[in-house]
Chains A and B, each alone.
Chain A
Amino acid sequence: MLNPKSVEAESTRPPIGPADQLLNPSETFESVSAKIGGIVLERNHPPFWWISFGIAFLLLMGLLYGITILLAVGVGIWGINIPVAWGFAIVNFVWWIGIGHAGTLISAILLLLLQKWRNSINRLAEAMTLFAVGCAGMFPLLHLGRPWAFYWILPYPNTMGLWPQFRSALVWDVFAVGTYFTVSLVFWYTGLIPDLSTMRDRAKSRFSRIVFGILSLGWRGSAIHWKHYQTVYLILAGLSTPLVLSVHSVVSFDFSTAIVPGWHTTIFPPYFVAGAVYSGFAMVLNLLIPIRHFYRLDDLITPRHLNCMANVMLTTGLMVAYGYIMETFTAWYSGDIFEQYQVINRTIGPYGPIYWALMLFNVLIPQLLWSRRVRTNPVSLFLVALSVNLGMWLERFVIVIVSLHRDFLPSSWGIFAPTGWDWLILFGSLGLFCSLIFLFVRFLPLISIFEVRELIASRTEGAA
């Protein structure tokens, strides 16, 4: 029941800053170009950059070591066995690819919905997408056992006279992830071109002028350039929107087309997509909050941005929670004893504590986001986002491993225990991701300069 008084109180409460609080009102064309371009050109990197990059780079070296041993010895160094043949590799794959989804949601779907708050966060989110999909793509290849033969899954004329089985969801995955990576790259680079020309024009050293000159392809900002540019960019956004929904749906088909109890359910595609956006926004917040703080970008990434992102996280989080409820309900309602046992095993079986940790991190803690103070306070929001990232990883663990370890036949049940190599490669992939993010922050403009200029221009028009 809505209390009319509380509705009134809510609507008379001032919003978080007026509409133009998407950036500090004192910002000008010159100041935003100097501020964003300066991060790259003036090289005034805080100690934060060196420390975080150092840690990330060490983890990356751990990853390389882990992969080397994996290639030399084989997948036996992992904890996988029969029945749990899909171990951490697939958990990590699904987790990473989900994280990528927020970037496309921010850059494409929010563009189509005319949400201006995307303008200062889309660039970093798109870079995050690209790097997360890269990390994701690595795992199924490593999991093949003979990664050097990975190209057998691509359709190409070969002397073996073989084709991939196009009716298999695993082959769909190859196409979905490959297309997603390529289209994200095109979208990201297209978005960068005008900013690269700004960097070219502001660069002081000859070397950076040449590099940015080549990368910007000679962009002159002509009205005709902009016209074609905006047309192409808008259609790319339109294409990315169904694409991003298709990618995690296809990933969920890998599970739902199998008959394993806990996998064989029709709720998977929307539930996976909602979870993907959920963890993706959490990762954007985990990256943006420290970067915004240490690079003093509070004028460009304001509490209003944080609030908007927290709202998306809360909404998708509720969808995911609904998914958990429906999974349990469907298991009971189906009357299928294997599905029903699966729910019991999930909650009080050997991996029960992981399921309850998942509920805590993914369902309970994010309810704090109902409070506006939590949504607009960077520290609390960072911690909630961290909890969501952890929770979503646990969700993937529950789906992949807990479903597999006990299926129809008790004599074929088993237990999966991760080895040190599993953990090394998981944290190593985080190192790869963070190294790429920090290199990106150092060498390319991390906020879309021309789109912030558009915001300034629309503000002056509105004032006039």
Chain B
Amino acid sequence: MAADLVTLSIDGKEVTVPKGTLIIRAAEQLGVEIPRFCDHPYLDPIGACRQCYVEVEGQRKLMTSCTTPVAPDMVVKTQNTSDQARKAQVGNLEFLLLNHPLDCPICDRGGECPLQDQALAFGPGESRYVEPKRTYRKPLPLSPLVALDRERCVLCARCTRFCDQVSGDRFIELFDRGAAEQVAIAPGEDFASPFSGNTVQICPVGALTSRTYRFAARPFDLKFGDSVCPHCASGCNLRVDVRSGDVVRHLARDNADVNEEWLCDKGRYAFRFPDAEDRLKTPLLRDHGLEPVSFDEAFSAVARWSASGRIGFLTGGRLCDEDAYALSKLARTAFGTNDLDHRRYRSAHVPWQVEAEAAAGRPLTYRDVERAGTIVVVGLDPEQELPILHLRIRKAARAGANVVVIHPRRTRLWDVGHHILCRPGSEADVLERLSAAAGDFGGERHIPGGDPEIEPAIDALRHAGERTIVIAGTRLAESPGALEWATTLAAGVGGRFTFVSRRAGDRGALRAGVHPLFLPGGRRVDVDSERAEVEAVWGASLSNAPGRDATEILEAAARRELDVLYLVGVDPFTDFPDTRLARHALENVEYKVVQDIRSGELTPFADVMLPASPFLERDGHFTSWEGRGQRLKRVRDPVGLSRPDWEIFQGLSAVADHDMGFHSLEDLHDEMGSLLGGVEGRTGSAERFPRSADAPLSPDVPLRPSAPPTASDGLVLFTYPLLVDEGRLSDDARELKEALQDSAFVEIHPDDAERLELADGSPAVVTTEAGQATLPVRVTANVAAGSMFVPFNNQGLRMSTLLSGSFATSVTVEKVES
């Protein structure tokens, strides 16, 4: 037997488990359920509730199975075979119920309550307690999202331990002691964690409830289905609960490889958008106004307008992999164009190999993050952009990993990571200095020492070596040389690299080739052999000229070089960093096709509107930042005539005389499989692009940037979307916005504030080439000196109105004279 396995017996049955396994987990493997409240597989053992007692032969006292690791030849007797254990468990449940209010009929948890279930299965049946119960005012709002009913609380401390151990934001804590012990929050404070809803889900009673769900449903009224969260590329496994056709709740499904049992609050609470009043229910065609028509009428119009092939496609982040694939094929086979793009960053500073590898492979996973020795995060604010990745980085840090964050703004990894705050655009400089030091591991080169900002990062890299991973966000795409240096750094220490984007559909779109340069699987349109592989499957001859990227498509539309602008789940006004360009494009291009879930800002411009079904009304896949394709299932019927995007593309292809042949999802999957190595992308065509562990990029291409990044003088304004903002998928998520969204603000470094005589809290006029806005000032050393941060789309300011093509821009700031 392997030395790291242990065999023991539980209730007379033998089981072999890894050394260190807790008895309660070993019992689960045998199908023996030991009741528990405080125990949670993703939290440290605590042994607080004392419910899970078992008898262990040779031990004087009963043992809590949630804190006791197995030992060789251990003989364990659970409540099934030990009177002692059973009496202890019954007694403990009686204790837990003493002060529990038994208001189950009106409790949100009733019917799905671990206390209820375990009291039924393991409890005494009746109580000997005749005195009055402990009472508290109920419920206490902890935030606009979470309410606390202290009477129901069994003080298992799952919620407070989650905040301490997982999210690392200890808004709530146990106060007082003895029977008066209670979960509480500092007076006047809100439970303003973007992960607060997880405490509700792991609460074993109805003490913590979601205010969005209070009294909304009984569990037995719900219809639910498995899905994947559409809000970002974290890939969280979701359960969508529907009552009478309306979504009432999102819950996390447990997946140890992905989101464990967590969701961010956006994923949990931004669930109302599919039920919005302005859902598109039928195709609309502009006559005098927008008139309902059949799909075929709408398709005919689009086919007619775009017969020239002068059509460009832009997509947003909500498309499933199937949609992206169908569009990739549609654009090229039906319209002969490579003018399609899913990105909102420009490709100028992105080495094509970086995207090709992301398109084809699966360079890094959550598990790799967990196991890493040093994690370098650059150009990414994980908490705000990929919240579950943020949690995993924290988990790794707790297990001893060093975290280095290179970013213009301090992130919520501040307590576990070393931050190098650098002005946007100077990331390459920092990465180059780290790479230089990393290259010195063999002792050949001089380490540039003495810089207290850099030193800890060098130490971390030196310590971890090949156990280093570098996670680069898409904002690096605007930073000259940064991605080259990031890959060079990873390669230099023998570590691994990944390029991650934020939105749920991004990775799938890249993989499918919703991209001017790439066909499915990261195959280049301008490389004959790679194009030929796709042509063989599609049975069509494809253009070998790379198309326009998103900005170029908008520019071409503005110059009337395109006849049709086809917008799929994207709003050029908000999604791209140039509102003026968006307006020019929409006002000038002849025909606008808008394919979306809901009517909106583009409606007045649209010549055709095509109703698409949101994630919960369809089958499909989302590919997460890892490159993991995960299946979502249809939870409810599509609203009106709306259909999945891929079906719309298929319909259009047929009317346009280039039938793609996708008459079922299976057809589509078969074809995707032949080009992408399976729907889930587990194998993919990664062999064509070796993983970064071996060689970060194709070796025949120079990795070093040709020119060093240029440092510009003056202030730089940079922006990125915060987790909860005015984005359309969080429309109607009132409580979420109230809890987690601030009105627009500008953050400025104290040195700059002093120079510009700006006081914290005072208004300032921010002027860029594109426009002007007055914003309240936040003076903080959490932004790099010389730079300023404004959230991309918070209430009160749509940042795209101040930008002219880039997410960073030079800026002047003046205080408002009163």
Q: Do A and B come from one complex?
A: no
